[in-house]
């Protein structure tokens, strides 16, 4: 008779300790990097005292940054393709509203030109996106 004859059996259990260690490290990495992965177009909006609009739907957003680049939602669009893209996007939508975000440092003429392009694409309702104004600032500088 041999003592300890069960030593030669294979253990078929999964050791989860290394798996848990790897998952905790990945969790910490994702928690640290998530705030740095902010998406969107960097636009410094002008301030206005108007009350915010209540919106039920996710509307089409066109942005004009300080470099003069045009974005539909978060996708860069060439100026000559803007009208075509807007028409294609709004083709099957019941909601034809479009919102325009323009950097406050961009020239007024560039904003008006962009508004004209959007209107020529068939947009009936065009809203302007602004930041809420601080109450202690004067209205017009």
Instruction: Find, among 18, 71, 69, the residue nearest to 40 by Cα.
Output: 71
> What is the share, in percent, of the chain residues with pLDDT greater than 90?
6
Average pLDDT value for the chain? 78
Q: Is the pLDDT of residue 136 over 50?
A: no
Mean pLDDT confidence for 6-13: 73
Please report the pLDDT score of residue 50 as a whole number: 59
Tokens found for residue 56:
């039920």
Q: Is the pLDDT of residue 21 over 90?
A: yes
CB proximity list for 104: less than 8 A, separation 6 or greater = 44, 45, 46
Where does residue 122 fall: left (phi above 0), alpha (psi -120 to 50 degrees), or beta otherwise? Answer: left
Q: Is the pLDDT of residue 45 over 60?
A: no
Please report the pLDDT score of residue 22 as a whole number: 93
CB proximity list for 119: less than 8 A, separation 6 or greater = 126
Please report the pLDDT score of residue 25 as a whole number: 94
pTM above 0.85, yes or no: no
Mean pLDDT confidence for 117-121: 86
Q: Is the pLDDT of residue 119 over 60?
A: yes
Q: Is the pLDDT of residue 90 over 60?
A: yes
């Amino acid at each position: 008779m041999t003592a300890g004859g069960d030593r030669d059996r294979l253990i078929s259990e999964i050791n989860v300790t290394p798996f848990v260690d790897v998952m905790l490290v990945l969790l910490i990495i994702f928690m640290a990097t998530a705030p740095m992965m902010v998406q969107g177009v960097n636009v410094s909006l002008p301030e206005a005292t108007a009350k915010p609009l209540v919106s039920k739907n996710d509307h089409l957003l066109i942005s004009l940054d300080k470099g003069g680049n045009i974005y539909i939602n978060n996708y860069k669009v060439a100026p000559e393709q803007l009208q075509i893209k807007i028409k294609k996007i709004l083709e099957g939508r019941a909601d034809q509203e479009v919102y325009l975000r323009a950097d406050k440092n961009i020239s007024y003429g560039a904003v008006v030109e962009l508004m004209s392009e959007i209107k020529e694409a068939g947009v009936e309702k065009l809203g302007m996106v602004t930041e809420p104004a601080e109450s202690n600032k004067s209205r017009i500088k």
